[in-house]
Amino acid sequence: MIILKYATSALAISMAIALAGCGNNSTQDAQSSNQTKKSASSKQDKTTLTINNGAEISSLDPHKTGGVPESSVARQQFVGLTTTDADGKLIAGMAESWESDDDITWTFKLRDAKWSNGDPVTAHDFVFSFQRMVDPKTAANFANFIADAKVLNANAIIEGKLPPQQVGVMAIDDKTLKITLSEPVPYFPQMLAYTAMRPVPRKVVEMLGDAWAKPGNIVVNGPYILKDWRVGEKMVFAKNPHYYDAKNVAIENLILLPIDSGPTDFSRYQAGEIDITFTDVPSDVLVSANKDEVKTSPSFCSYYYEMNVNKPPFDDVRVRRAMTLALDRDTIANKVAGRGEIPSYQMTPVVVSTNPKYTPEWQKLDQSARIAEAKRLLNEAGYDESNPLKFELLYNTSENHKKVAVAAQSLWQEALGFVKVTLVNQEWKAYLASRRNHEHQMARAAWCGDYDDPATFLNVMRTEGTGNYGNYSNKTYDALLKTSLTKSNDAERAKVYHELEAILDKDVPNVWVYYQVNARVVKPYVNGYSTQDALGNWQAKYWSIK
């Protein structure tokens, strides 16, 4: 663990804002000129594309994914019952068709498809995969996602009250799968496109156990398969000849890099070593890129600071509310992040359909009034100049996350005076472990929606919800969340979602910061890259090289 301490001064926030600014024009002109020279309109090797994936992944197993980097790898190797097109819209995956008369019992007809070892993909693989996901022995990070989807008995199995075999998934025959839910979920097909819902090869997993997901052993049903993994350097994927739509996969090889530094990412892009950057290139670096190569799209991602509500000082709601009141999120979104991010006052991003459109009362206050109320609450909680509030803010390695954390630290300390924030930086895997083990006080967090409905965000905050690493729990919230599925139309569900956002505003488990955007720099010879996918579910199978 690396602990970073910064002085409390106007200099810190001004430096963070300056980094996001325009900088020296002559330097930018030189960089832009250099970038133009480096960005050839064509690529000599049209068989291989190099993409920065942002971090070293924790697992190849789609049932043990930890975050965005793992999901990006899984999308290239595995296909679920449903999937998405280049613009993020739902399309058929392993299931050619599906139907339901009541949104409870769903029947899926599988297409003819094979695993990369030549074995057929069958309904029995999906039954095995659902059972494996909810089995406590698997320790799947997102097992609760299946419970959120209301798959029959999933919750009881996760809690160890029923055997995995009783999950509501059945193979009628090799090509017909029936999934039974405990209550209606109209958007269930959308949920099936999520990484954790993807199948694994039953025979291979039963034969090799956890070793099935190691390089050399892994068997996939998607367009690409891992051929080489040099930890800390690169992952190399080759086109899977057994993929059902292999004839339409134009790029033969993919190289994914684990670069967690935005400036390094862009520098290697300029040098011609990367064809598509990660989404983490800082705003001050993006200004030197060729504008035609910067691809920005809306995002179903909410960026926030998660507070551990069972650990001091954030076991006190007055402290939590003070932190959310005092943070100048407008400055952070517009001047520090500075790539088009939108300041946030609810969990659900504004681009999501059936939106709650919740506006907290305190949003109407100007910043000085918010700070005054924050100080009053902290004084009431026992904090002042003689007893300052002290806490650690954890973030994972990234120039953007660091820049935002430095700004938040400075804004809080300067606004409140008697607050001391220590920044703690950890690499991706250690950071995930710290949050999952609830070791943090406050942590940088983000939730990216898995389907176009507020439930994908609001489910996170239910008791023991997937991604609820701050240990927030409210029985009223949990009960109300369940009622959203009983509503007959989007307008009625939106009312429930509005009430849920109001509860979160009252309890303040998180400090909402901003809604993210996806901003990548893409070489002009990459054909088919879409800026319409707010889910960020990029799949290289849709691209080609000019």
Please list the alpha-helical segments (H only) found in 420-524: 428-436, 455-458, 475-483, 490-507
| CA-closest candidate to residue 249, choices 133, 466, 77 | 77
HSE-CB of 346 using CA atoms within 13 angstroms: 22
**Which residues on adjacent β-strands are paired with residue 515?**
302, 342
| CA-closest candidate to residue 63, choices 158, 143, 149 | 143
pLDDT of residue 1: 38
Both tokens of residue 98?
Answer: 């599906």
Strand 526-527 versus strand 544-545 pairing type: antiparallel
Residues 6+ apart with CB under 8 A from 32: 288, 289, 290
Q: Is the peptide bond before 189 cis (omega within 30 degrees of 0)?
A: no
pLDDT of residue 21: 42
Both tokens of residue 163?
Answer: 């055997």
The DSSP symbol for 409 reads H
User: Treating both helix axes as pointing N-terminal to C-terminal, what angle do 367-380 and 399-416 enclose, rounded to 10 degrees?
Assistant: 70
Distance CA(113)–CA(199), nearest Å, equals: 12
Q: Strand, coil or helix: what is 235? A: strand
Consecutive 10-residue averages of pLDDT for the chain (546 residues): 39 49 39 46 88 95 90 97 96 98 97 98 98 96 92 97 98 98 93 94 97 97 98 97 98 97 96 96 91 94 98 98 98 95 97 95 97 98 98 95 97 98 96 96 95 93 92 97 87 96 98 96 97 94 96
Beta carbons within 10 angstroms of residue 119's beta carbon: 16
Locus of tokens 């939108």: 342
pLDDT of residue 39: 53
Task: Give the predicted TM-score (pTM) of the model.
Answer: 0.82
pLDDT of residue 489: 86
Distance CA(294)–CA(330), nearest Å, equals: 23
HSE-CB of 527 using CA atoms within 13 angstroms: 10
Radius of gyration of the chain (CA): 24
∠ at Cα 81 (75, 87), nearest 5°? 55
| CA-closest candidate to residue 354, choices 502, 495, 490 | 490
CA 356 to the chain's CA centroid: 20
Q: Strand, coil or helix: what is 231? A: coil
CA–CA distances in Å: residue 170 to residues 71, 103, 154, 173, 185: 26, 16, 14, 9, 18
- Kindly list the strands in the beta sheet with 442-448, ordered across the sheet, starting from the edge strand earlier in the chain: 2-4, 419-426, 389-396, 442-448, 294-307, 510-521, 342-343
Strand 419-426 versus strand 389-396 pairing type: parallel
pLDDT of residue 19: 44
pLDDT of residue 539: 98
Residue 249 and residue 226 in contact, taking contact as beta carbons nearer than 8 Å:
no
Both tokens of residue 312?
Answer: 């001091």
The DSSP symbol for 121 reads P
pLDDT of residue 32: 42
Distance CA(201)–CA(168), nearest Å, equals: 19
CA–CA distances in Å: residue 521 to residues 51, 268, 531: 10, 11, 12
